[in-house]
Amino acid sequence: MEKLLKKQRNSNIELLRILMMLVIVAHHYIVNSGVIQCIVSTPPHSLQINRFNVYFALVFGWGGKTAINVFILITGYFMCRQQFKWRKVVFLALEIVLYRWLIYGIFLASGYESFNLKEFIKTVLVLPYDFGWGFSSSFVGLYVLVPFINKLLSTLEKKELEKLICVLLVFFTGFSTFLFNTSFEYIGWYVTVYLIGSYLRLYEMNWMSSRRITGLLCACSLAFSWLSVICIRFLAEKMNRNLPYYYFVADSNKVLAIATAISLFLLFKNINIGSNRLINKFSASTFGVLMIHASSDTMRRWLWQDVCKNTFAFATNSFIFHAVFCTLAVYIVCVSIDMVRKFFTDRILCIFSK
C-alpha cells in the first residue's frame, strides 16, 4: 500500500502540484500586475476595456488561494504517516532565504531598486517577518508543528478528529464566508487544512476512491468557483459599482476555496498515470517557482509591469494569448533557474557530506 501511495505521489500528485503552481502564477499575473486594480478602481460602466477581457481576467486569476490549500492538503496527506525530519525544514528555510537574498541583491546591484533600511531588514529577516501572513514562512511554521500535530492525530479517535475539523471549519470558514468575519491568520488555517489532508489519508471512505464521484465533485466545485466570480461581476455591472469579485475563493479559508481544493486533490489521487520522470522533475522545482517569481514587491513590479506589461496587454485583443503565454513562460523560466540551483546545491552538499 505504501509503495502504491508513493508511486501515486511521484506521478499523479506531482502533476497536480505542477498545475496548481500554474494556477498560482496565473493568479499573480492578474492580482500583482495592476490588472485587477484596473478593474476595481473604475466603475464597470466607465471601464474602457473589452468586456470579455474583464471576465477572462477575473476567471483566469481565480485560483491562487485554492492552490495553496491543495499544497497543504498534499502535505497533510503524506506527512501524517511519514517520519518527521528537521533536515527538510532546514532545507526549506534555506531555499526561501537564498532566493530572497539573491534576488534582492541582484536588484540592488543593477540599480533597479534603491537601498532602503526597512526593506533590507525585511529581506534579511524574511522568515520571521513573513510569518503568519506570507505563505512560504507560514509553511515552514506548519512543518515545524508537524510532529506535534501528528502526535495529536495518534491520540484522537475518528469521531473526535471529525468534530475538531468541523469546529475549526466553522471558526475559519463559516464565520468568514457567511458572517463576514475578517479575523483570520495563516498558521491556524494551515493546521486545519493539514488535519483535513490527514483525515483523507487515515479514514478514507469508499466514495473518496471513486473517480466518477470525485470527478463530479471537482467539476461542480470548479463551476461554482468560476460562476461565483462571473455572477458577482455581472451583478456589479447591473449596479455600476465594484464588488468583491473573489469573495468566495479568497482568502484560502473561504468555502469554495477549500471545497474546490479538496475535490481537486481527491480526483487527482484517483487518477493513475503511472510514474513519469519529466513530471517528477518539473514538480521538484514547484516551490522554487513560487520563491522566484513572487519573492518581493520589487520582483512583482519588475516581472509583471516592466517585463510582461500586463496592463498594456489587458487593453488589447491579444490579452488572452498574452496571459497564457506569460504564465507558461514564467513557470518554465523559473523551473529552469531552480534546476540550475539544485544542480549546484546538490554538488555542494555532496562535497560537504564526504
53-102, pLDDT tens digit by residue? 999 999 999 999 999 999 999 999 999 988 888 888 999 999 999 999 99
pLDDT at 353: 63
Kindly report, residue by residue over 46-56, the tens digit of the pLDDT.
888 889 999 99
Give the pLDDT band of residue 299 (cuts 50, 70, 90): very high
For residue 10, the model assigns a pLDDT of 61
Using the 8-state DSSP alphabet, how is residue 302 labeled? I
What pLDDT band is residue 8 in, cutting at 50, 70 and 90?
A: very low
Are 187 and 134 spatial neighbours (Cβ–Cβ below 8 Å)?
Answer: no
Average pLDDT over residues 235-252: 93
Sign of the torsion angle spanned by Cα atoms 338, 333, 326, 39 = positive
329 Cβ neighbours under 8 A, 6+ residues apart? none
Q: List Cα–Cα distances, 202 to 78, 80, 147, 153, 162, in angstroms.
A: 10, 8, 16, 9, 12
Alpha carbon distance 282, 15 (integer Å): 9
Residue 3 has pLDDT above 60, yes or no: no
pLDDT (average), residues 287-313 = 95
Backbone angles phi, psi at 111, to 5 degrees: 85, 0
Determine the Cα–Cα distance for residues 178 and 108; give it in Å rounded to an integer.
45
**Which ranges of the chain does DSSP label H, i.e. alpha helix?**
2-8, 14-31, 35-40, 51-60, 64-79, 86-110, 117-124, 126-130, 135-155, 158-169, 175-178, 186-202, 211-239, 255-270, 277-283, 286-293, 297-300, 310-314, 319-353
* Cα distances (Å, whole numbers) of residue 141 to 20, 128, 162, 196, 241: 21, 10, 24, 18, 40
**pLDDT computed for residue 1 by the predictor:** 42
**Most confidently modeled of 12-26, 34-48, 332-346?**
12-26
pLDDT of the residue at 103? 96
pLDDT at 43 over 90: no
Task: Tell me the Cα Rg of the chain.
Answer: 21
Burial 138-154 (b: 16+ CB within 10 A, else e): bbbbbbeebeebbebbe
Whether residue 37 is predicted with pLDDT greater than 90 in this model: the reply is yes
CA atoms within 13 A on the CB side of 262: 23
Scan for cell 554538488, then name that residue. 347
CA dihedral over 214, 220, 222, 228, signed as positive or negative: negative
**The pLDDT of residue 350:** 73
Sorting pLDDT into bands at 50, 70 and 90, what band is 182? confident
Quote the CA–CA distance of 259 and 265 in Å, as a whole number: 10
pTM: 0.93
- Which of the residue ranges 83-92, 133-142, 154-163 has the most confident prediction, judged by mean pLDDT? 154-163
Q: What is the mean pLDDT of residues 154-162?
A: 96
* pLDDT value for 161: 97
Pick the range with the lowest mean pLDDT from 42-51, 245-254, 300-309, 321-330. Answer: 42-51
Which DSSP symbol is given to 133? Answer: T
Which of left, alpha, beta for 49 (phi over 0: left; psi -120 to 50: alpha)? beta
pLDDT above 60 for 162: yes
